[in-house]
Amino acid sequence: MEGGSVVGVNATHSHLWCQVKRGKPEMKIDSDNRLRHMNWPEGVSTLFLGDLADALLRCFGAHEPPILTQPPGFDQQKWTMVVKDSTMRVEVKSRSYWGFGLFDSCFLNELIIDGPLERRARFIFDLVASLGRNPWEPSFGIMWRKATKASGNEHREAWGGLVKYAREQMNEEAHKYVQRLEELEGKFDEFAEEGFNNWNLSAAKDSVEEARKQIEMARNALHDNNAAAFERALARAEAALIEADPTTEVTRTPFQEADDLLLESALEIDEEMLEEQILVHEELPEDVERIPVEVGTATADVTADDLLDGLDDEPVDEIPFVDLTESE
Q: What is the pLDDT of residues 294-314, one digit of tens each?
A: 555 555 566 666 666 665 555
Provide, rounded to the nearest whole percent, the portion of the chain with pLDDT above 90. Answer: 52
Note the pLDDT of residue 263.
Answer: 58
Note the pLDDT of residue 112.
Answer: 96
Note the pLDDT of residue 38.
Answer: 87
Phi, psi at 95, each rounded to 5°: -160, 165
pLDDT band at 197; cut points 50, 70, 90: confident
Nearest partner of 185 among 233, 235, 241, judged by Cα: 241
Instruction: Kindly list the distances between the CA atom of residue 137 and the CA atoms of 120, 125, 250, 294, in Å, as whole numbers in the listed order.
Output: 20, 16, 51, 95
DSSP helix/strand/coil, 92: strand
Q: Is residue 272 predicted with pLDDT exceeding 70?
A: no
* pLDDT, tens digit (0-9, with 9 covering 90-100), for 114-149: 999 999 999 999 999 999 899 999 998 899 999 999
Q: Is residue 111 predicted with pLDDT exceeding 60?
A: yes
| Residue 114 host element (H or E) | strand 107-114
Task: Calculate mean pLDDT across residues 268-290.
Answer: 58
Nearest partner of 73 among 95, 92, 55, 53, judged by Cα: 95
pTM of the model: 0.69
* pLDDT, tens digit (0-9, with 9 covering 90-100), for 233-247: 999 999 999 999 888
